[in-house]
Each structure stands twice: as C-alpha cells, then as structure tokens.
C-alpha cells in the first residue's frame, strides 16, 4: 500500500471512528511521526482499534512509544485502548503521561475522567473535572453530581447557587438542590436565627424557605403560612412563596387564591415539572370535590401540556372517567387526543365516553376518521357500525360491521357485539333472511362460549 493511500486511510479511520478525539484537537502535522516505521505502527494501531482488536492496537502503539516517548498523542491512544479493555490502572497511567506532556489538551483530561468515572473512583474525578471546567463551563453539572456521589453536599449547594446566577438550572440540578435542602443530614439553622436573618435581610429567599420547612416539620402550618405570605410580600416574584401559598390556600378552601398562586408557579422555569404536576393533582381533586373552578383547571392543563412525558389532559380525563363524570371525561379526553393523535388508549376511552353520553354523531365521525388511519382495526369498524345504527344509517352500519368481521382475530366478545349490531341493522331494513343468518351466528357463538 502506498504511503499516500495509507495516509488517506488513516485520516478516514480517525474521522469516522467513534473515538474522534485525536485530530479534533491535533492537526495531522502535529503528530510528529518520526519515521516510516512509526508511521506504519501508528497506522496499524488505528486500524486494529477501528475493528476492536484492542490488544493488537496496544502492541502497535507501544512500539511507537518505544521510538518516540515524548509524544502525548501516543499515550492518549494507548489509554483509550486500555480503557476499552477495562485495564483501569494502566489506562490511568497512560492518560496521566499524556496530560503531563501536554496539560493544555482537553481530551487528555477527558480520558483521565473517563477512567475514574468508569471505575467509580469519584473522589479522584473531582480535581480532573475542576480542570475540565476551565475548558467547558457545562462540566459544572458533572462536578455537582460528583459532590453528591461523594456526600459533599455543602460544596454541591455552593456550586448550585453559583450556577443559578449564571443560568437556569436543569431538572436534575433542581432535584439535587431540593434533596440537599430537604435532607435531615443537611444542617439547618434554628428558627430564631432564621427569623433574625430575615429581619436583617428580607430579600434572601432561602431563609424564608428554610423557616417554612422548619415550621412545617413541626406541624406549625399557620406559622409556615405566615412566612410564605411574608416572602410573597417581600419578594413578589418568588416562585417558592407561591408553591407554599398554593397549598395553604387549598387547606383553607380558598380555591381562587390557590389557582392564582398555581399559575404563577406554572409560568416559572425554575420549578421542576414534577412539582407542577403534583400541584395540578391537588388542584384537580379540589375542583372535583367542590365542582368549582373548572375553567381554571382547563387552563392549568394547557400550561402543563409542554411536558412531553405526560399527556396531562388524558390523565385528567381518566380521573373523571373513574369518577363517572362523563361530561368532563369527554372534554379532557378530546383535549388529550388532540395532544397525541396516536394514543389508542385515549381514543378507546373517548369512544366509550361518547356511548355513555349518547353522542352518536361524534362517535361516528371519530371512528370513521380513524379508520382512514387504521383500516385494519376491527374495533373501529364496530364503533362506526354501532354509531350509524344509532343514527338510523343502517346500510352504512352494515358496510362497516361486515367489513370489520374480516379483521376480527380470536376476540369472541367483539364478534358477539358485531353480530348483535348486524341483527339490529338488518331487522330495521326488513331483511329477515340476513337478520336470521346473523342471529344464528350469535347463537352458535354463545354455545361455543359455554
């Protein structure tokens, strides 16, 4: 193979390899291959690594190091292969050598971090990540996680507060912050100290939060409520004040005030979606028990629909379905189906709800629309037939029901319901022969079930 072809192949290997770190920071000219022999061995090492022959790759790269032991690129490559073989101490040594030779290269530090993280040596990871933060500030999240893993919660909280000044905390960072603040192991100031701190500096939100937690822990809800109101007065935009006020208002059966606090929280990007979902659940129960604030509930669901993991409207629809409040069930399931048109559970529940509310027009339209999307779904043919029977469109019902029979597979209950509807259809159009035919089918099916 000519040197030119070999060189091109080398570049392609490095470009498309899953470990694209060598030339991401190093130019080919900077590799400083001393002679043809080193170049051949280096090429061979990369080739063997690309096909996951890590042992052979190590043999070749070690030959390069014997020829040129001051090139950090060779140690970096050696470290990557050793790491893939889970030979952690040797990989650490190789990456350490690369770092010592060129401490300004981020990827050498990254290799060292990979060794410590994979071997779960989180304590050693910390100074490495502190170094990596100088290259990428987003690594601060990793450092917080490492502090949590090593139970250095005080350092984690300091860093989280520093990050809050620079950016909106991610969900996992918010969870860490809450976990630290709610932990019994986290040293909390005494009530008197917090009261004095609030009096001395009324714009420090954390003091109010800590004091509310202390009062709540000792079942002094009225005092916690007073602190929440004071926080809302001193810091009107405080999201945490409104989280607390919301709960206190619900306890006092002040639904309107609770909804106002809830919407302020929902507009916040700092409060985790899980907390918002819990607030919605509490508000939902309040609305269901009092039969008030239905418009506010609908508006609240629209706010939370951005949560891709949960179809909030659907879940609320199921809540009312279980309570047999079919009017509200239909309203929320329709919203839920708009949010996720491919959710078959929502579709089936909505169709059942249309039957319960005798909304045959909506059932006919919905089933017929979805048959265009799912032309082999036997259940949809049944609902289309049933609804058209109710609307006295008997011939149309027959078309749907008989077509649906072709798609029923080992569902005796559905088959039975289709026969019942077909008997009804043919009876109404005066076709006695077909009515008796499906009546006999129904009898045969009943005997089979015995």
Q: pLDDT for 351-409, tens place per residue?
A: 999 999 999 999 999 999 999 999 999 999 999 999 999 999 999 999 999 999 999 99
Distance of CA 61 to CAs 46, 48, 72, 82, 106, Å? 9, 10, 12, 11, 21
Other Cβ atoms closer than 10 A to 79: 27
The pLDDT tens digits for 223-242 are 877 888 888 888 877 887 88
User: Which uninterrupted H or E stretch holds 241?
Assistant: helix 239-251
Across 63-77, 173-187, 272-286, the highest mean pLDDT is recorded for 63-77
Distance of CA 324 to CAs 89, 320, 327, 398, Å? 64, 6, 9, 31
pLDDT at 339 over 80: yes
Q: End-to-end alpha-carbon separation of the chain, Å?
A: 79
DSSP 40: H
Contact 262, 246 (CB under 8 A): yes
- Report the C-alpha gap between 223 and 146 in whole angstroms: 37
Torsion from C-alpha of 324, 328, 329, 333, nearest 10 degrees:
-170
Backbone CA torsion sign across 362, 368, 374, 380: positive
Distance of CA 441 to CAs 30, 230, 445, Å? 83, 74, 6
- Report the C-alpha gap between 95 and 351 in whole angstroms: 62
- Report the C-alpha gap between 76 and 45 in whole angstroms: 12
The pLDDT tens digits for 54-95 are 999 999 999 999 988 889 999 999 999 999 999 999 999 999
Phi first, then psi, for residue 18 (nearest 5°) are -70, -20
Position 231 scores a pLDDT of: 86
DSSP 169: P
Contact 296, 259 (CB under 8 A): yes
Which tokens hold the place of 358? 């005798």
Which residue is it, tokens 């109710």? 390
CA atoms within 13 A on the CB side of 271: 23
The pLDDT tens digits for 100-129 are 999 999 999 999 999 999 998 889 999 999
């Amino acid at each position: 193979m000519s040197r030119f072809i070999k060189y091109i192949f080398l570049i392609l290997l490095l470009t498309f390899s899953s470990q694209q770190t060598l030339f991401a920071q190093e130019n080919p000219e900077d590799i400083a291959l001393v002679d043809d022999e080193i170049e051949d061995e280096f090429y061979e090492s990369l080739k063997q690594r690309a096909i996951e022959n890590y042992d052979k790759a190590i043999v070749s790269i070690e030959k390069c190091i014997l020829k040129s032991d001051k090139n950090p690129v060779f140690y970096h490559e050696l470290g990557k292969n050793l790491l893939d073989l889970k030979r952690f101490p040797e990989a650490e040594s190789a990456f350490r050598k690369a770092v010592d030779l060129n401490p300004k290269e981020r990827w050498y530090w990254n290799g060292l971090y990979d060794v410590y993280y994979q071997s779960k040596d989180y304590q050693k990871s910390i100074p490495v990540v502190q170094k990596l933060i100088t290259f990428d500030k987003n690594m601060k999240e990793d450092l917080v996680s490492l502090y949590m893993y090593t139970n250095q919660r005080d350092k984690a909280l300091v860093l989280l507060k520093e990050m809050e000044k620079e950016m909106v905390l991610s969900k996992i960072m918010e969870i860490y912050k809450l976990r630290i603040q709610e932990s019994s192991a986290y040293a909390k100031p005494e009530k008197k100290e917090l009261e004095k701190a609030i009096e001395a500096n009324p714009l420090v939100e954390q003091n109010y939060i800590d004091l509310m937690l202390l009062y709540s822990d000792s079942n002094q809800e009225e005092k916690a409520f007073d602190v929440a109101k004071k926080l809302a007065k001193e810091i009107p935009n405080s999201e945490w004040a409104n989280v607390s006020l919301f709960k206190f208002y619900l306890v006092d059966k002040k639904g309107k005030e609770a909804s106002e606090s809830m919407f302020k929280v929902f507009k916040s990007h700092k409060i985790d979606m899980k907390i918002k979902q819990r607030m919605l659940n509490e508000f939902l129960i309040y609305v269901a028990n009092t039969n008030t604030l239905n418009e506010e509930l609908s508006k609240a669901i629209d706010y939370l629909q951005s949560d891709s993991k949960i179809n909030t409207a659907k879940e609320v629809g199921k809540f009312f379905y279980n309570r047999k409040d079919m009017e509200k069930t239909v309203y929320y399931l329709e919203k839920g189906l708009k949010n996720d048109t491919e959710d078959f559970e929502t579709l089936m529940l909505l169709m059942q709800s249309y039957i319960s509310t005798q909304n045959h027009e909506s059932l006919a339209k919905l089933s017929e629309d979805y048959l265009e999307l799912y032309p082999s779904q036997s259940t949809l043919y049944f609902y289309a037939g049933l609804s058209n029977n109710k609307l006295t469109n008997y011939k149309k019902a027959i078309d749907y029901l008989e077509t649906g029979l072709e798609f029923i597979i080992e569902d005796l209950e559905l088959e039975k319901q289709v026969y019942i509807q077909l008997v009804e259809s043919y009876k109404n159009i005066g076709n006695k022969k077909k009515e008796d035919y499906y009546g006999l089918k129904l009898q045969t099916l009943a005997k089979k079930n015995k």
